[in-house]
Amino acid sequence: MTLTADLSGQVALVTGASRGIGEAVARLLAANGAKVACVARDAAKLAGAVEAIRQAGGEAEAFSCDVNDRESVEKVVDGIVEKWEKLDILVNNAGVTRDTLMPRMTDDEWDTVINTNLRGAFLFARAASRYMMRQRYGRIINMSSVSGLVGNPGQTNYSASKAGLIGMTRSLARELAGRNVTINAVAPGFIVTDMTRGIAAAAMDEAKKRIPAKRLGEPDDVAAAVLFLASRAAGYITGHTITVDGGMTA
């Protein structure tokens, strides 16, 4: 990865940081000087991600949290600010899928995805923005998906949650621009993660045919876009969604 940004002295919070895209984002932010609060529910995997950052010379701490729970979210955000005295970057990456066609989709499958992917991002953005507004600086990056732009059969709940993140991004960007707080979204396409490894091989082969780049993306491809949006260089960009999909939605 050749993209770099000076994040020294900054504090970042990354949800869903125990694996996949979240882990790649946390690792890259730390490699560029940020102190990174890694948030996830799986304490064991989270500890491994944090240790990897430390072994590479970065600074990171693990925070276990249920992103659906308001009290838990606010406790984590308050704890991070108490520890490091500020919060500059929030990456709302935590997400789940419960794929099935809508006629068979249960209330629980709908609620689980909406609550984790959309409500969780709202709770963290609300808690973090209070500190960012006070310090008159901040970067919030919401992890959407191309499914939130074009939809996907069997993912009505997931697509709705990711489209909701784009709407939240646009509205919050207008609210906080005057406080030097930017809010943007990143919409990955097919990225090689634990989530996509569960997709049938035939379906993945078909997906590759729809990608002009003729390959699946890597977590580091997404992390690079996040790093740019988290940097001071992106200070005049807010309310936008950057697709990282190899040209699939071009």
Could you tell me the residue ranges of all domains in the chain?
Answer: 11-243
pLDDT in tens, 229-241: 999 999 999 999 9
pLDDT of 195 strictly over 80: no
Query: Is the sign of the CA dihedral 212, 208, 196, 158 positive or negative?
Result: positive
Q: CA 163 to CA 212: how far, in whole Å?
A: 23
Determine the pLDDT at residue 35.
98
The residue among 208 and 100 whose pLDDT is bigger is 100
**Confidence category of residue 19, pLDDT binned at 50, 70, 90:** very high
Say which residues have a Cβ less than 8 Å from residue 133's Cβ, sequence separation at least 6.
Answer: 176, 179, 181
CATH superfamily of 11-243: NAD(P)-binding Rossmann-like Domain (3.40.50.720)
Q: How many Cβ atoms sit within 10 Å of the Cβ of residue 146?
A: 20
pLDDT range class, residue 250, cuts 50, 70, 90: confident
**pLDDT at residue number 193:** 83
Q: Are 138 and 87 in contact (CB under 8 A)?
A: yes
Nearest to 238 by CA among 87, 137, 110: 137
Residues marked active site are found at 158
Q: What's at 15, amino acid-wise?
A: T
Average pLDDT along the chain = 95
Global pTM value: 0.95
Residue positions counted in the chain:
250
pLDDT confidence of 204, banded at 50, 70, 90? confident
